[in-house]
Every structure is written in C-alpha cells, then in structure tokens.
Structure 1
C-alpha cells in the first residue's frame, strides 16, 4: 500500500489538509504540545498542501500564548484509528495576534467561534463556580458583530512551521514507519524509512 516515501508524504499531507477542512476527520483535533511539556487538544484550522504550515486559533491571554511567544518549538500528534495512521509533527511555532494571518483567520471564523474570545478572563483563570467565562449578554446566543468587537484583541493564531514529520502505519502484517525532515520553511522534505 505504501511502497514509496513520496506516497507516504502524500498520505500525510492528505490527512492533515482534510483534517483542517473537515470537522469529521479523526485528525481534526490533534494534541498540541509546547516545549514545557504541556499538552492540549486544539482544532487544526489550516494546513497547506506541502505541510509547510499548520494553523490553530488560541486566546492571546492563554498560558500557551505567553509560553510560545514569537519563537518556540511545538509538536502535534494526530491519529486516524480507521486508517491506522499516526502523525507526529514538530516545528517552529509563533503566536500572531495581529497582521494578515490573524486578521484573515478572524474574518473567516464564525460568530460562535469568535464569541469564545469574549471571555472576561484568560483561560485557566480561577472561577468561583462552573462557568464559561462569557458575559451573560452573549451566553448561549449568536452575538452581533458589534458585540464581538472587543473579542478581537483576545484572538490569536498559533502558527507552526513543521521541520520534522514522523509517519506510522499500524499494519496487521507488520507496521511501516517513515521520517521526514527539512531545514526550514519552503525547503523540500527529505525522507527515510525507519523500523517502527
């Protein structure tokens, strides 16, 4: 089934690009890890066809946004149980609160998605009771564009530019694994087969 490194790389790209556009994809919500070892599940919002960029949305006030800042390393773990494919990606990461990437991501988000960034305090802030953190005026409703204006300052994107990719196929007759690296964004992936 996967006899060439080109086929493997194409499979990885197909899984990730589908995951970014199809909320029913098993890889739509991968685990994202930061250099401090903290893990969280995040919705994959974009992946370009050559796996040169992965984009996630986050609250600019979140601990991960502070930890990642402008130059850090992040990793992504995604699994498709039906296809028996695991992907591990590592790359340089940055948080963008302003600029064309963040502005386009904000504009493309639904009002319900943007509503999350109206929370009155940063994610992880203490609360006296179970709560969403949203102001009562927008809890459970589709907010107007005017109501969403203050949310924009809390919105950010996490951009990861992958430099390594580990692909694992769990086959009944014997697993298959390949690893790919590249020197930086825009460079070609170089792959090798490895023992699973």
Structure 2
C-alpha cells in the first residue's frame, strides 16, 4: 500500500485536503500545540497543498494568539483511527487579522458561526457555567448589523508546515516515515517506528 516515500507524501496531502473539506473526516479536528506546550482541538478550515499551510479560525483575544506572536513554533497532531494513520507535524504559526484571506474567511462564515466572536474573550472568568455569549444571542443568529462588532475579534491562525512524521499502525508491523522541508522541496526518509 505504501511502497515509496512519494506514496506517503501523497497520502498525507490527500488526507489533509479531505480533512479541510469534510466535516466527517477524522482529521478535520486536529490537536494544535503552541510554543507554551498548551494543546487544544481546533477545526481545520483549509489546507494549501502547494504552500503546505493550514488555516484555522481563532479569537484574537485568546491567550494562544499572544503566545504565537511571541513564539511561532507549532505542532499539529492528526489521527485517523479507522485507517490507523497518525500524522505529527511541526511548523510556524502566524495570526492574521486583516487582508484578503481574513476577509474571505469572514465572508464565508454564517452569522451563527460569527456570533462566537461577540461574547467574552476566551478564558474570561465567570461565576456560573457560560458560553460567554451575550444572552440575546444564546441559540439565536444575529443579523448583519448585530454581528459587526464581532469582526474585530476574528483572526486566522495560519500554520506553515516544515516537517511531519507519518505513522501507519499495522498488525503485520508498523511503518513510519519522516519528512522535512527545505525551500519548496520535501526530503523524506523511512525510520523505525
């Protein structure tokens, strides 16, 4: 099934393309790790297979935005239990708040999704369980005028991948490959699992 390093790289590319487009893909919600060694599950919104960049949405007020600005090192963990494939990736993150990519991502979102950026910033303390949303938007979609203030809190997290480790778990014997990026070229090697 995976006879060459090119087969493995193609498999990774195809899985990430699918993960960004298919909500049912097991790799649609990877674990994202910032330089402060904090991990969280996020939704993969897009994958650019030429630039090897991941696009995720985030709140500019979240602690991770400040961490990434100070230390752009990132790790990403994808896992497909059914296929028994794990991809561990490393790269550099960047928070974008303006520009055509940010505007396009905002425009492609629904007001129901955008409302997340209307509430309290991530990590805001509360005396009671809370979604952080203003009460009038609990379960309610804001209109176009009501959503305007949310835009200033919306940001993209772009992660440019520089290395990845692919592991196929097989009862006949696991198979593992590692790839590093130099300029626009990927160099791969087989390694023992």
Tell me by how many angstroms 1:99 deviates. 1.2
Distance 2:47 2:160 in 1: 10
1:20 matched residue in structure 2: 20
- Structure 1: 5+ residue stretches without partners: none
User: Is the Cα contact below 8 Å between 1:47 and 1:54 reproduced in 2?
Assistant: yes
1:4 matched residue in structure 2: 4
SS in 1 for 2:13: helix
Residues 155-174 of structure 1: matches in 2 within 5 Å? Answer: 155-174=154-173
CA deviations over 1:113-159 (Å, ceiling 9, x no partner): 1111011x210110111111111121111211111110000000100
Q: How many residues align?
A: 193
User: Is the Cα contact below 8 Å between 1:62 and 1:123 reproduced in 2?
Assistant: yes
2:52 matched residue in structure 1: 52
Tell me by how many angstroms 1:70 deviates. 7.1
- Structure 2: 5+ residue stretches without partners: none
1:122 matched residue in structure 2: 121
TM-score norm. by structure 1 comes to 0.95
Q: 1:49 to 1:155 in 2, by over 3 A?
A: same
Distance 1:129 1:39 in 2: 24
Deviates more, 1:64-73 or 1:89-98: 64-73
Q: 1:143 to 1:118 in 2, by over 3 A?
A: same
User: What RMSD, in angstroms, separates the aligned Cα atoms of the two structures?
Assistant: 1.2
2:152 matched residue in structure 1: 153
2:185 matched residue in structure 1: 188
Distance 2:50 2:26 in 1: 20
TM-score norm. by structure 2 comes to 0.96
Tell me by how many angstroms 1:79 deviates. 0.2
SS in 2 for 1:89: strand
